Structure 1
């Protein structure tokens, strides 16, 4: 029907018929007032302006005055009124459906009489070995699998359907405390004792600042000490100055372990820089310090210092950035290859080093003038 025909039909309807038509069809426009959108029309006259407080009081009074509805079944203690609630059956798992489908799709294997006779007479250990050979790891537990691989006997009390028992914990004795006397060690370093080639101060917590300074000062003229380990001794940046001075002079130390201390990233850079002066230290460990993350600037400085050191073979540090990690590992591999061949690493020429510094200064001056 066209719109003109609909308009002609609506003009022929009476007001009562139009009200019936409007009551059957609700408008979709949300901007129309609610009283015009519903079919119910109240024809009563308004009693007056709305008093919200009075209306609420009237509703409360009416609710209190209205009597309660009588119960159809009176309350009796111990009796259940109505139907008793029963829990619905639990949902069926998908694994059960898969199991049912697997059982339905099971293919029966027809074995020879000889094979059936052998399997019926086989012991549990023989079946375990056969399952291990065929790769059926899900048919046995871990101890049975490893025992079959190692040709060991089955543990006592273990059955084919048994649960794997946990391996008993093997108690180990506590590590004895480090009883190294710092005072005696300092005296041996000062007299350059030939038998003192290694000092282990790991986990020694009672080293004072004066003993730290005396220990590092004794390294200046020592020519016998090769390994110095000071892990977890509470060393911090206030002890670094004396240590760096000794590392720049000492040419006998081969291994330096300073892990698990309170050295800052700048202190790590100073130690690696001091190691590169004599080119004697082959292994240095500086991990697990105050800052777990060194930062890009510190890592680049350490990378340049390591690349300038032709004798270092191992360094214990965590590099976060791939560029620094790859460059350091490549340089260490190069030094290791040189060490395996048997050739001595070539120390940098002082004249070339001075020439490079001069070129750097000239380039900086040129950039400033521009």
Structure 2
């Protein structure tokens, strides 16, 4: 058997060669020629570097997209089609028809033995059907039960009242129960704005959800909030809040010391305006809950999410944040900081209770 050769040398001689030594002997021109031979399917390289063709011509002028498309269409229309070796005839298959390989009919099933222990095996063996249904509902095995079984296990803890609810029962379709529509929001916008301007102590909550606002009403409301000392909960969901009004709200939040909850969900706020709103929470540090999901732009982007995350981590009072964050790092950091704020409040409350109990104990001893 003759050994295969490449460039007059045996292939075995190339196996012991040092690649780095060979590359060091090449000139810059030879290295450039070698670098042109790349893998066209290498996704780590940009598309313009996956080909050996290099255009050395300079641009002849500015790019005219319409003229370029017209030229491509003209060339396509003027270029004659390639003649077919076999003309097309309806009903005749040209070439080899692909036939899918047959799947084997035999299927080997492996049995997995699980040792639960004598105590659990005896408990499951002696359990009634109702107890097994309740256990499946607790463990979340919804696919093992039909609708009647799952509903009965949640509603009633006794025997199942209907027949056919066993493990062999059939899931049935149900006629949905009609529910009355929620009444429209009857809040008087102008009257509420005047009460906020007058700093009415009875106005601690304002719910303007689903009420269309004008820009003038937004500006009047937010100007009144700046000096208000009794309003604690403000809800402006689906009111048409825009970026201009959102910046006015951010200014009002930064100057108000009574707000605890702010809800601006389902509006037309841009990511930069959301950053301004989250940043305004740091001025007074009184707002505990801020919700602003479902805006005009669903995804905020990595840069905006990182900026919001940094602002939240600087806020020691925020407890709940209603924002859809796409990246796991931002979600984890925000959740960790919110839990840290909750733990800080809990420890502070426990410390106050301990101080109060010790004070009462010392007072009773002194008397």
Q: What TM-score, normalized by structure 1, do the two folds share?
A: 0.53
Name structure 1 gaps, 5 residues minimum: 1-93, 98-128, 345-370
Match of 2:193 among 186, 191, 207: 186
Structure 2: how far apart are the matches of 1:275 and 1:144? 48
CA contact (8 A) 2:129 2:166 kept: no
Q: CA deviation at 1:208?
A: 1.0
Q: CA deviation at 1:150?
A: 3.1
Q: What is residue 118 of structure 1 aligned with on the other side?
A: none
CA contact (8 A) 2:148 2:165 kept: no
- Residues 309-348 of structure 1 show CA distances to partners (whole Å, capped at 9, x for unaligned) of 111111111211222222211111111111112269xxxx
Structure 1: how far apart are the matches of 2:278 and 2:287? 10
Q: What is residue 317 of structure 1 aligned with on the other side?
A: 323
Q: What is residue 273 of structure 2 aligned with on the other side?
A: 267
Q: CA deviation at 1:132?
A: 4.5
Larger radius of gyration: 1
The number of residue pairs the alignment matches comes to 219
Structure 2: how far apart are the matches of 1:159 and 1:254? 51
Structure 2: how far apart are the matches of 1:322 and 1:161? 42
Q: What is residue 330 of structure 1 aligned with on the other side?
A: 336
Structure 1: how far apart are the matches of 2:165 and 2:349? 60
Match of 1:172 among 174, 179, 193: 179
- Matched ranges for 1:238-317 at <5 A: 238-317=244-323
Report SS of the residue matched to 2:304.
helix
Q: CA deviation at 1:179?
A: 1.0
Report SS of the residue matched to 1:176.
coil
2:242 is aligned with 1:236: yes
Name structure 2 gaps, 5 residues minimum: 1-104, 108-126, 137-142, 351-367
CA contact (8 A) 1:132 1:145 kept: no
Distance 1:147 1:278, change over 3 A: closer
Q: What is residue 212 of structure 1 aligned with on the other side?
A: 218
CA contact (8 A) 2:247 2:273 kept: no
CA contact (8 A) 1:232 1:260 kept: yes
Report SS of the residue matched to 1:342.
helix
Distance 1:222 1:166, change over 3 A: same
Distance 1:286 1:158, change over 3 A: closer
Structure 1: how far apart are the matches of 2:325 and 2:132? 45
Distance 1:159 1:180, change over 3 A: same
